[in-house]
Amino acid sequence: MIKNKPLEFMPGEEHRYSSSPYILLSAIIEKISGISHGEYIKERIFRPLYLEHTGVEDCRSIIKNLASGYSVCKEQIHAEYVDMTLHLSAGAMYSTVEDLYLWDRALYTDTLVSKDSLKILSDQCTAYCGSYGWVTNWTFWKYERFLVRLQSICSR
């Protein structure tokens, strides 16, 4: 799958966003833990942080108040169905504003990542999908510094 593809450039020379490392991370988590990626992050992240309205889509569960995506061609239309289980850790999650607030607050404790790791993620202002797939920017909202992992699949 990935290992047989040639490098597009040498490491450190350029940066191009790719979902492949996140999909590979899911496979590693599942292999080591013996449970699905969704169950793993539910047990290790969502429950400890009390993220009660955050999860991983499984294409079977009916998720109350889940927004559907839109596409714009000549007009705004509902996006085509995307089987999110194919994306694993590269974008199959859903959440609410309230849970995202709890997630954000947890970033500034040692619950999720160490203060040293957070410093590495947030010290530099980076371009879209810059270092580590995170974006930090002092001026984007013009109110406060933010740290967000961006992912967009059919405007979900």
pLDDT value of residue 23: 85
CA angle in degrees (0–180, nearest 5) for 39-57-150: 100
The pLDDT tens digits of the residues spanning 41-95 come to: 999 999 999 999 999 888 788 888 887 777 777 788 887 777 777 777 777 888 8
Q: In the prediction, which pLDDT does 127 show?
A: 54
Distance from C-alpha of 133 to C-alpha of 150, rounded to nearest angstrom:
7
First-to-last C-alpha distance (Å) of the chain: 27
Instruction: Assess contact for 46 and 40: CB atoms under 8 A.
Output: no
The pLDDT value recorded for residue 35 is 96
Residues 124-155 pLDDT 10s:
655 554 455 455 554 444 434 444 444 444 44
